[in-house]
A and B are shown apart, each in its own frame.
Chain A
């Protein structure tokens, strides 16, 4: 990788037009090539990288924060920080893993700031979050059969509710492993911890989730 190169705005981001998620998935190994081009100052390549990864980063942030409006802004912040750190990025890890690492930092900073801002205040979200569907989408989804959609929606609500009850560390490890499909080593890199810690957190997080899901079913 061209570590010493500094990205410059030789071409405006987005000038190549939007790159759809589907198109970007045609060649999943393109990240390395796009990163190399972006490190050389090619803003169109960075735009393509953003388009390829924004959906996963946004989903991860939204599932971590349960705050849809802030998730959009936080995703912006992740890609701005990624741009600023691009000259220092070395291909030791996958680009997506590196993005998850930045996402981890951005979300935890946001969380800390929120705790400071709301110290001593009544936080009604704590009490209302189980009544609101946290997985509600603002973008239209894919059409499903009504019964499938209902079952899926119901499960999504339950899972989102029990996920929200987990600690941030347990929630993150479940999302990274079971939803995003990262390897143990990658999760350890993202969360700046050991593989042993990741395994331990994953074990307890799954145990808690399954226990809470059973309680949810019994409560009905």
Chain B
């Protein structure tokens, strides 16, 4: 008795040549098996009658022509894989490249942040550093004795401050409106050259 595989192949006309000769030399099928083989042949015949194995496709010459064109493009540009049905969609770019770019950007920003912090002295908010002193300090002339002057400037705040210590209190009768125009025109000079030193902010 043959094994199941050979029997199934014989029933399905899958054996040919020497395989078929060797099988039929040792195996003599009964009427039932012959009927089953015949039924399978009729089934295949029915199927092939209804569903053709080959169908000439629409516009066959154009098919070959377009194929030739696609192959020529591949030959000219071998590194780019050909996509005959559709070009790479923007959705693909969005799905894969945008998140990757965003993550890379975040990592780069984080790394840059850590490098900046390492190179900078940390300053607590409670004790802020004194305002930086300008490299070019102006000379403050004070005619009165016992008065000290300190000059501060802050480029970030765009401001300069001169603090005078030891100046006598300014009387309430002094009319500032007379000196406003003078201060505006002479600005720092007016303050620094004033016979009565006062605090001027710019």
Task: Identify the A interface with B (CB < 8 A).
Answer: 8-9, 12-14, 18, 21, 43, 47, 50-51, 54-56, 58-59, 62-63, 70-77, 79-80, 83-84, 135, 137-139, 152, 155-156, 159-160, 163, 174-175, 177-181, 183-184, 195-196, 199, 202, 206, 210
Contact = CB atoms under 8 A, between A and B. Distances in A.
A124 B64 CA distance: 33
B47 A73 contact: no
Contacts of A74: 85
Contacts of B56: 21, 55, 58, 139
B58 A196 contact: no
Given A55-B56, A59-B52, A84-B74, A13 B5 contact: no
Contact of A9 (B43, B46, B61, B71): B71
Interface string B27-53: 000000000000000011011111111
Contacts of A139: 55-58
Contact of A80 (B12, B57, B74): B74
Contacts of B52: 59, 179
B98 interface: no
Given A12-B68, A13-B68, A184-B9, A76 B54 contact: no
Nearest to A73: B85
Contact of A59 (B9, B14, B53): B53
Nearest to B89: A117
Contacts of A80: 67, 70-71, 74, 82, 84
A27 B66 CA distance: 26
Nearest to B69: A13
A8 B65 CA distance: 17
Contacts of A58: 54-57
Nearest to B72: A9
B138 interface: no
A173 to B, nearest CB: 12
Contact of B64 (A14, A73, A195): A14
B96 interface: no
Given A12-B68, A63-B51, A76-B84, A199 B75 contact: no
B2 interface: no
A14 B69 CA distance: 10
Nearest to A74: B85
B63 interface: yes
